[in-house]
């Protein structure tokens, strides 16, 4: 473990008590209290090089969760939006090959506090999403990932209905890109196909679920396990 991961683990342990108390006070998860789950599919865009090897691993069925980071109750106040992806087997059953990717409308760790001002909180498809910290990939190397949205959704009363209408129209799609050596390359196209039944908040995505060989590295990834774990542990206590 490198120095940046050690620093992230320490920071996560320091942040965890604050997140736990915050979850108790709001009686919900501190991060991403509301989301929507969709069945999706990833199609290859890249054929050769590192991007092509990654595309081969990720092509196939996907579970996608679109969420807001802070606010509840339908309020579309300035916020960070998130997109969590789980690459799964064809039958959807849990597998050691499942791979989670957590992305948000935060370009760099040092822009976190400014991200709500640069995010279009009214439209999930009107934003791009970033992994914030890099990944180390088998037979590919260490690189960065981002998810580009199509630029907007159909009109609707709120972001959830706009997203649903885009899915119905077949227009809810994202492009996952990889940057290895200073240049972004397309990897796969992800198309949302239909809503998934069940409570979206119960879907527990984990940044270290790495069954397809994408292993998170860096400061931000390292602080997540303790902070996100504290957020989840606060929910059953708050609901008593």
Chain segment 72-123, per-residue pLDDT in tens: 667 788 999 999 999 999 988 889 999 999 999 999 888 888 999 999 999 9
Q: Are 19 and 230 in contact (CB under 8 A)?
A: yes
Scanning the structure block, which residue is given the tokens 């300035």? 78
Chain segment 183-193, per-residue pLDDT in tens: 999 999 999 99
Scanning the structure block, which residue is given the tokens 């690189």? 143
Choice between 56 and 204, residue whose per-residue pLDDT is larger:
56
Backbone angle region of 143, left / alpha / beta, with phi > 0 → left and psi within -120 to 50 → alpha: beta
Alpha helix ranges (H) inside the chain: 3-26, 49-58, 115-118, 159-168, 219-238
Q: Among 73, 74, 85, which Cα is nearest to 26's?
A: 73
CA distance 168 to 165: 5
Confidence check: pLDDT of 146 > 50: yes
User: What's the pLDDT band for 29 if we cut at 50, 70, 90?
Assistant: low
User: What's the pLDDT band for 234 if we cut at 50, 70, 90?
Assistant: very low
Task: Go through the domains of the chain in sequence order and give each one's CATH number.
Answer: 35-216 (2.40.180.10)
């Amino acid at each position: 473990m490198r120095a940046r991961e050690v620093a992230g683990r320490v920071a996560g342990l320091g942040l965890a008590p604050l997140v736990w108390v915050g979850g108790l006070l709001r009686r919900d998860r501190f991060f991403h209290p509301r989301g929507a789950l969709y069945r999706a599919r990833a199609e290859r865009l890249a054929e050769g090089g590192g991007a092509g090897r990654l595309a081969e691993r990720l092509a196939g069925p996907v579970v996608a969760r679109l969420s807001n980071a802070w606010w509840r109750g339908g309020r579309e106040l300035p916020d960070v939006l998130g997109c969590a992806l789980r690459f799964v087997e064809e039958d959807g059953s849990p597998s050691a090959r499942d791979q989670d990717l957590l992305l948000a409308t935060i370009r760099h760790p040092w822009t976190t506090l400014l991200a709500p001002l640069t995010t279009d909180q009214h439209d999930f498809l009107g934003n791009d999403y970033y992994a914030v910290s890099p990944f180390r990939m088998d037979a590919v190397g260490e690189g960065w990932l981002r998810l580009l949205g199509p630029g907007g959704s159909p009109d609707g009363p709120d972001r959830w209905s706009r997203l649903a209408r885009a899915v119905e129209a077949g227009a809810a799609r994202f492009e996952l890109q990889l940057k290895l050596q200073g240049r972004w390359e397309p990897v796969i196209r992800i198309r949302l196909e239909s809503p998934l039944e069940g409570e979206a908040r119960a879907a527990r995505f984990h940044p270290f679920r790495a069954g397809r060989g994408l292993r998170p590295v860096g400061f931000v990834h390292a602080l997540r396990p303790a902070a996100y774990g504290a957020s989840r542990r606060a929910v059953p206590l708050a609901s008593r």
